[in-house]
């Protein structure tokens, strides 16, 4: 049987309360409501007001949206074989989109560069911020006037509005993962 919205909300509240090892009576006391009212909310028989939901969120130490968003739609698995791949003709660079799409506030990509190859001819800039982690190989990254050498396991955070360029300087392919906000793929 499919749950209605009140039942889903109540179930999320109950699950969070139990994960905090809090009894129904303890939560009811913290929010100034009765245990029977809270029990009805958790079973989907009563719909809490926004004020009550704020109090519940505060008592359970989560933002109000934790209970309002459908986590099933926001917890999207991307299988390796199902990633969107971008490879430029004649290029020694491959990008794979790790995040499900570009409809959220950030993207994650995995890139592979052959030895000696670069992400671009001249350093390029784009809006936002970026954090890059070297998975394999060695990276030379130029950000503005600075140059950094990164090894496997090293990471770097930078403002993407500064022109930047990544070059594979090892003897094996450079593989790195970047989190970019806002999406730019």
Q: 3.40.50.150, 1.10.260.40, 2.40.30.10, 3.90.226.10: which CATH number matches 5-74?
A: 1.10.260.40
Relative to beta strand 129-136, strand 174-181 is antiparallel
Residue among 144, 140, 119, 128 at smallest CA distance from 179? 128
Give the CATH architecture of domain 80-181: Sandwich (2.60)
Written as six digits, the tokens of 86 are: 């971008």
Residue among 134, 135, 138 at smallest CA distance from 115? 138
For 12, phi then psi, to 5°, come to -65, -40
Domain ranges of the chain: 5-74, 80-181
| H/E stretch holding 155 | strand 155-159
> CA-to-CA distance for 95 and 80, rounded, in angstroms?
13
> CA-to-CA distance for 23 and 180, rounded, in angstroms?
41
For 23, phi then psi, to 5°, come to -75, 165
* Predicted pLDDT at 142: 97
* Predicted pLDDT at 71: 52
pLDDT in tens, the chain (185 residues): 667 888 888 999 999 999 999 999 999 999 999 999 999 999 999 988 888 888 998 999 887 777 776 555 556 788 888 888 877 667 788 888 888 877 778 889 999 999 999 998 899 998 899 999 999 999 999 999 999 999 999 999 999 999 999 999 999 999 999 999 987 76
Residue among 148, 113, 108 at smallest CA distance from 129? 108
Does the pTM of the predicted model rise above 0.85? no
Written as six digits, the tokens of 128 are: 């936002």
Residue among 38, 37, 41 at smallest CA distance from 9? 41
* Predicted pLDDT at 162: 95
């Amino acid at each position: 049987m499919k749950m209605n919205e009140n039942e889903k909300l109540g179930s999320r509240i109950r699950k969070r309360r139990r994960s905090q090892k809090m009894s129904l009576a303890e939560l009811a006391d913290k929010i100034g409501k009765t245990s029977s009212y809270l029990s009805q909310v958790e079973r989907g028989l009563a719909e809490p007001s926004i004020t009550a939901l704020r109090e519940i969120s505060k008592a359970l130490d989560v933002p109000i949206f934790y209970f309002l968003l459908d986590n099933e739609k926001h917890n999207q698995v991307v299988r390796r074989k199902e990633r969107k791949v971008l490879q430029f003709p004649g290029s020694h660079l491959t990008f794979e989109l790790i995040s499900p799409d570009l409809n959220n506030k950030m993207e994650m990509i995995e890139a592979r560069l052959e030895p000696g190859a670069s992400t671009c001819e001249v350093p390029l800039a784009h809006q936002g911020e970026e954090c890059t982690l070297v998975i394999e190989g060695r990276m030379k990254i130029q950000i503005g006037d600075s140059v950094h050498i990164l090894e496997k396991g090293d990471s770097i955070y930078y403002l993407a509005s500064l022109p930047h360029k990544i070059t594979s300087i090892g003897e094996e392919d450079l593989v790195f993962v970047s989190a970019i906000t806002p999406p730019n793929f």
